[in-house]
Amino acid sequence: MTKEELKSYLEKTFPGMTQEENIDFLVLWVEKDEIFEVARKLKEDEATRFDFLFDETAIDWQTHFEMVYHMTSTTYRHDLEIKVKLEDRDHAELPSMEPLWKAAEMYENEIYDLFGIRFSGHPHLRRIFMSNEWKGYPLRKDYQDDDVISL
């Protein structure tokens, strides 16, 4: 599908969801509760077949978190970005994408490790970069550490 076709497809299939376009990708804003069903639909629908989640990451905007999913289709070669806004910084939780895309397991481990966002349904959520005893989540903007020397 071309970008325009994908755009009209998304408008038809998910009415009411905000779309925008950045330099590379079409962006679809999804509500936190609907993300899993939307992702499942995009993956399993014959028209889209997003079978490859090539990036999953998070952004800390200090007031809220933003989850970013990048997916592509190895059959149709089109790609899409999905964004989710997480208002609750202290108890940020999302459904895991691991049942849909196996690749999400490691991405979500990393996001949990560095941002402290939890993923329900994840098979083994753990710290992968920091040691198990580590306190806090270093990529949060309000992270404090006595060892860090700042200029």
Partner 1 sequence: MDVNKNTEPFPGEIYEDETGNTNFLVSSIDKLSNWARSNSLWPLTFGTSCCAIEMMSAASAKYDWSRFGFEVARATPRQADLIIVAGTITKKMAPVLKRLYNQMPEPKYVIAMGACTITGGPFFYNSYTVVKGVDNIIPVDVYIPGCPPRPEALLEGMMKLQEKIRHSRAYVIDKPKKEENDD
Q: With binding defined as CB under 8 A, does residue 126 bind partner 1?
A: no
CB neighbour list of residue 98: distance below 8 Å, 6 or more residues apart = 104, 105, 108, 119, 121, 122, 123
Residue 103 to residue 100: CA distance in whole angstroms: 9
Instruction: State the chain's maximal CA–CA distance in angstroms.
Output: 53
Decide: is 23 part of the binding site for partner 1 (CB under 8 A). Answer: no
**Per rule CB under 8 A, is residue 142 in the interface with partner 1?**
no
Q: Please state the closest distance from residue 132 (CB atom) to partner 1, in A.
A: 10
Report CA Rg, the chain.
Answer: 17
Instruction: Please report whether residue 140 would count as binding partner 1 according to CB under 8 A.
Output: no
Among 2, 22, 74, 131, binds partner 1 (CB under 8 A): 131
Binds partner 1 (CB under 8 A): choice among 15, 141, 142, 149: 149
Smallest gap from residue 64 Cβ to partner 1 (A): 23
148 binds partner 1 (CB under 8 A): yes
Q: Are 129 and 113 in contact (CB under 8 A)?
A: yes
Question: Smallest distance from the beta carbon of 131 to partner 1, in angstroms?
Answer: 6
CB neighbourhood size of 17 (10 A): 15
**Minimum distance between the CB of residue 151 and partner 1, rounded to whole angstroms?**
5
Residues contacting partner 1: total by CB under 8 A = 11
Return d(Cα 138, Cα 68) in angstroms, integer: 19
Interacting residue ranges for partner 1, rule: CB under 8 A = 129-131, 138, 143, 145, 147-151
